[in-house]
Amino acid sequence: MRWWTARKGNVFINYRREDSAAWAGRIHDRLVRSLPTRRIFIDVDNIPEGEPFAELLDQKVAQCDVFLAVIGPDWLDVHDQSGNRRIDNSADFVRIEIASALKRKNILVIPVVVGGAKMPSANELPDDIRELAGRNALEIHSNRFHQDADRLLKRVRSALPFYVRRRRAIRYALTSLTLFSGAAAFYTAVFTSKLDTAFGLERFIRPSAIEWETLTYQDKTNPAYLRDFIDRQTATPEGREAAYWLSFITERAWSKIEDTADTNKIADFLATFRNSDQAKLASSRQEQLHANAEGRSGQTDLSPLARFRDCAECPEMIVIPPGQFTMGSLDSEKFQLQDDDESPRQPITIAKRFAVGRFEVTLGEFKVFVNQTGRSMGDECIGIFDPVQRPGSWGEIPQRNFINAGFVQGDDHPAVCVSWDDATAYARWLSKRTGAEYRLPTEAEWEYAARAGSQESYSFGDDESLLCQFGNGADRSLNAAWDANRWCADGKPFGSAAVGSYKPNLFGLRDSHGNVHEWVADCYHNSYADMPDETKKAGAAWVSPSCIARVIRGGCWAYPAVGLRSASREPWEQFKRSYCVGFRIARTLEER
């Protein structure tokens, strides 16, 4: 076929989230290594009927040359709330997209069978997609994923136009051509985004294209990273592509909760997508629900995982139920000698419910305390003298304090340059103001709340490629000289992020992995071997025999993944202030 064919050169990946989301993500990541990223559209199912994305997805199907229908073991057997097979519903998006592709004779439809699934027979399929059973399927197995994925790539490329299939050859030809004419003008046009695409050469010229090329599917579904990328690359084609991805995941997240009566879910949406168009709808919905709830009860809801504030300027709290967990880390988690202070692992009982801050105490909340009490916060704060170098040159930097920490921060960022003494003074002030007992969480309480039922390295498991969706640490967004997590990017090159920028754990806590270290009540001990019974049986603070140093937990934005684990801990003198250290408040609850 001639290279100037009218084909678009696009690939559409169709899958059912409950069945094969992970497989679809891996296939997407493999294809973008060899094909232009913008040529590949990965579908997400479960978009309600009537949403504008239905029309958008149909348009995407019409614009593709290759349609991949990813079929896993449960593809046929996913049921809706009525107990009916989703595939039998004429409004099912997976079915609609497949039918849309099958009716267009210029689209190559490839069933991709994964996870040991069997290709459905024609009798098992609705009439409008029965033809799918007759298409030549390609199987991908976990034990030979790369070989099978390469076969799929070869088959996909064969159906794409010449300028996509042979973009490397074209790139080399254009490179040679630029040696003789217009090289400088061509380079400038690509670099300044006056020329959006250049047969792949933009990936070597335009910084935004170079960065976009490195992103994984996890990066492209991380709202915090996308917002940062858009702010930096607004005028570039990749910035516009990132805006499309952010719009897509925002609309999808809102579609799941727009009819909910759960104010916590709406609050979580507002924390993650605070500046979106849908945030206005969410705020209106939240106000309506609060108005409906007024007058029903004059008492604060203190049921498990309920959220409350004792005053307008008070931190928002979450009620943590009692329970048991194992404190400390497995030997397999330890990467350096100092991690030995996370053992031996100890069974802990949190005997009573308590409340803990949903977020780290913010700069805005801490300002109220400083302004009302006149507390002196000093003019020196420990930080890194040269941020370009690897961390190591730490020390007290003059003219730095909780207002001027050394990086951009707003009132919604965590308060930093705060000592243990400052944090406990804040708790005493808050207690006096509200009449409730506010304090720092004990170390056992902190780890229990941070784990939220998980015994893995992180609250979400062990997969470090997901870490950037749950916290702000040293990763690809930070300077390359740092010992960073190369699996992902969180969108914060240097400094703290606004609280709530990342996903919560199952208890609803935000930023328990990274952003800033958090003070706890305990004295530091270099082993759990002599942990007292009151800590094991009730989660009490371990403050004997002496406090040479206190404990900070959670890791900070300057730490690699190992320092952001749920079990990670460090000693820190209680009078010191650092732009990596803040705190989260706790509150004792009366027993019912």
501-553 pLDDT, tens digit each: 999 999 999 999 999 999 999 999 999 999 999 999 999 999 988 898 999 99
411-436 pLDDT, tens digit each: 999 999 999 999 999 999 999 999 99
Query: Which of 240, 213, 221 is closest to 35 using CA atoms?
Result: 213
Give one DSSP letter per residue of 226-273, joined into a string. Answer: HHHHHHHSTTSHHHHHHHHHHHHHHHHHHHHHTT---HHHHHHHHHHS
Is the bond into 387 cis (omega within 30 degrees of 0)? no
pTM: 0.64
CA separation, residue 452 to residues 9, 150, 224, 508 (Å): 45, 40, 22, 9
pLDDT, averaged per 10 consecutive residues of the chain (592 residues), comes to 50 92 92 80 58 70 91 93 91 90 91 94 94 94 93 87 58 58 53 53 66 80 85 83 87 86 85 84 79 61 90 95 95 70 95 97 97 92 65 71 91 96 97 96 98 94 89 73 63 85 94 96 95 96 91 92 93 94 96 68
List, in order of start, the domains of the chain with CATH numbers: 11-165 (3.40.50.10140), 206-298 (no CATH), 307-588 (3.90.1580.10)
The Cβ of residue 55 has, within 10 Å, a number of other Cβ atoms equal to 10
Which strand (E) or helix (H) includes residue 429? helix 420-434
**Under a CB-based contact definition with an 8 Å cutoff, are residues 219 and 468 in contact?**
yes
Query: What pLDDT score was predicted for residue 222?
Result: 87
Query: What pLDDT score was predicted for residue 226?
Result: 87
Please tell me the number of Cα atoms within 13 Å of 383 on its side-chain side: 25
